[in-house]
Structure formats: structure tokens, C-alpha cells
Amino acid sequence: MQYLDTFFEKLWQQYTAITPQALAIHELLNQHETTLVNDHVAFRTFANSPYSISQLEPELFKLGFKAFDNYQFDKKKLLARSYIHKDSPTKIFLSEILWQELPAGSQIIIRKIIEDNSGDKAFPKKPISLSSGRLWSMPSYVDYLALLKDSEYAAWLSVWGLRANHFTIYVNYLRQYTHLESVIELLQQHQYLLNEEGGVIKGTPQDFLIQASTMADKQLVKFPDGSEQLIASCYYEFAQRFEQPNGDIYQGFVPSSADKIFESTNSNK
Ligand code: NI
């Protein structure tokens, strides 16, 4: 599937450019594995905006993805939708923040982001895609910190924009590291920092999906005031899926696990 490869390759280049650990872990696994398959690639965006899930998903439909299920994260004020492809084991997970439910201060900052460029004639010509990056001006560092207090998700999104938030190794396709536990052991041997929110492994075989992730890398980012700040970029995830009673491998996501995986970009953890 050449067009799918092209889609994922662009996202991978963009992701590894700010996530050096992903490239290093990929190479580490590649020493023992012949093929690495992605379970899913995840994105973050703003609901009720030109960048909402409903605006972004046509790109996926054109690539042959079909909507699979919807998810809700009340505490983080997020909605999400997953997509599957008949010719690919790699799923897509789009989430969006219901920013109008955040405190007033953050709403003002996000409204500014969403309305940014609206007066710019060139803007509507720019196609909005999942690899567009940040389509708005860089927020001030003060605004970034204000968002960080209300929603770590929104702060991350304000800086990094539309791009893969994480890639996920599909453990089922590994030939040597056939269990999530053995992948975790390898990562720990190499001193990778893992997301320990609610335990390193999220979910149980009874959920038909178990997941783990690293903590996000940090990148030096230049803000409009000229200052450079070290902020969270992206992380790498690892997923192992199980057969359901009907014999099919589970394709969905487990909200209570995903909720904890979202914390992988939270530098305060
Ligand atoms: Ni994920």
C-alpha cells in the first residue's frame, strides 16, 4: 500500500525529528526483529475549530480508513475516535479537546489560536492535514504555562500542532520480544523512562489490550519573547492485543488505559 506508506513515512519523519528516543528504540528493537509494525498512531486537536476531528477525518477516509469507535475522557475534557484499515494493522486514534469547558483564561488563549490566521488570505489555501504541524502562531511562553495549568494536552497542542503525538509498536508482530513485559524489560535495561501512572502496564488481558509507554522527550523550543524553553515533545507506545471469545483480535481502545497514557507528555509526573 504505497499511499499508506507515504502517509505514515511523512508522519514518522516529523515525529522522530522531535523524538530522538523513538528512533533509538526503533533501532534497538531492529537489532532483534526483522519487521516492526505500528499498532496505532495518535493525534491531538481542538474540538469546535477548523482543526476538529470532523475536519481532519476526511483525509483518513480518502486513505481508506473507516471510523471504528468513539471514546470519551470526562476529566481531561476529551473526545476521541479510532479508525481501522482493511489492508493495514495500523489504526489511527484522533482525540480533540472540548476547550470551551476549560476555565475562562484558557478559553481566551485557545480562541486566539483558533482564530489566528483567519484574516490571512493565504490561510484558507493551506490544506489542513494530520501532518500540517502548527498552523497558528507560536503561543507566548506565558500563555503556554497558563494552558499547562488547566490542560497539559492543550499546552502540548498549542506548541506542536497537527502531527503524530505518538507511534505505537504492535508487540503481537514481534518475533523475539513477544510479550509486552519483555519489551518493557529491554527498555528498562537501556534506562528509558517509562510512564508509571497507574503502573507501567495499563490494562489486563481481560481488556484484550495491554499498553505501556515511555515518558516524552523534551525539546528546546523558541518562544516569541526570544526565550528558549525545554518542553515535552512526543513519546513511544507499545501495545499487545488479545483474541476475543469470537476469535478476532481486539481492535479497540480501553479508555481507562488511554487516560493514563495521555500522561506521558506530563513533565510533572
Ligand atoms: Ni496510543
| CATH number of this structure's domain 2-260 | 3.10.180.50
* Separation of alpha carbons 166 and 71, rounded Å: 18
Mean pLDDT, residues 198-209? 96
State the distance from the centre of ligand 1 to the C-alpha of 203, rounded, in angstroms. Answer: 13
| Angular region, 50: left φ>0, alpha ψ -120 to 50, beta rest | alpha
* Pair 219, 233: CB distance under 8 Å: yes
State the distance from the centre of ligand 1 to the C-alpha of 168, rounded, in angstroms. Answer: 6
State the distance from the centre of ligand 1 to the C-alpha of 131, rounded, in angstroms. Answer: 17
Mean pLDDT, residues 203-219? 97
Q: What CA–CA distances, in Å, run from 111 to 47, 117, 151, 225?
A: 11, 12, 15, 21
State the distance from the centre of ligand 1 to the C-alpha of 93, rounded, in angstroms. Answer: 7
> What is the pLDDT, as a whole number, of residue 127?
74
Q: Considering the entire predicted model, what is its pTM?
A: 0.95
Helix boundaries (H) for 32-171: 53-62, 104-115, 141-150, 152-160
State the distance from the centre of ligand 1 to the C-alpha of 47, rounded, in angstroms. Answer: 19
State the distance from the centre of ligand 1 to the C-alpha of 166, rounded, in angstroms. Answer: 7
State the distance from the centre of ligand 1 to the C-alpha of 237, rounded, in angstroms. Answer: 6
State the distance from the centre of ligand 1 to the C-alpha of 70, rounded, in angstroms. Answer: 14
Domain definitions of the chain by residue range:
2-260
pLDDT-derived band at 98 (thresholds 50, 70, 90) equals very high
State the distance from the centre of ligand 1 to the C-alpha of 147, rounded, in angstroms. Answer: 22
Strand partners, 61: none
Mean pLDDT, residues 19-39? 96
